[in-house]
Structure 1
Amino acid sequence: MSSRHRPNRPDCPDRPFDENLPELTAAEASPAPAGDTGTMHDLHLASQNVLRLATQTYNAAARGDERAAHAARASLEKQLGLATHLIDEILSAGDDQPTMH
């Protein structure tokens, strides 16, 4: 049995096992440091907003709504800036040293 397989338990939703999923790396399996839980939560929310705004931008462009596409893109740019700042904060452990791009 794969280490990724979970038995049916009330705390484990029943979903089909996908044998094509890659194994987690040690970094992915490790929980966030205790001091970063708030920042990680904020990053999760910012990432969800980036996806939502990217979808809105795409949809507006696809329907030819230039005004809505520009508005969504401006919001997306701000949200990406926030997400990038949060990533920098996590990677530098709060040292305010920006990630090199």
Structure 2
Amino acid sequence: MKKNGIFFLLGLITGILTAYLTIRKRKEIYRKLNDIEKKIERIDIKNNVKDIIEDTISSIKYLTKKAEKAAVDEKEAILHKVEEKIKKLENLIK
């Protein structure tokens, strides 16, 4: 009986920690996307490049919202893809 209680508590703590880290990562992603959108408004680039960047930002936001409904393993994979796309966008804007 004690083993079951310990395993339950370990599972609960692990789940809470994973959820916390996922939420924190998602907030950081949204912050970075907002920063990129502000930079795009300030710099003068061709409209087609600006449209491509805005479409990419939209798809990143969609993936982030999709991650909210996914399983834990899928969330981590989706958020990793999103972070890679954000890094590419940041390099493109610089």
TM class by shorter-chain length?
A: 0.3 to 0.5
Q: Is the radius of gyration larger for structure 1 or structure 2?
A: 1
Under a length normalisation based on structure 2, what TM-score does the superposition of the two structures give?
0.43
- TM-score, normalised to structure 1's length? 0.41
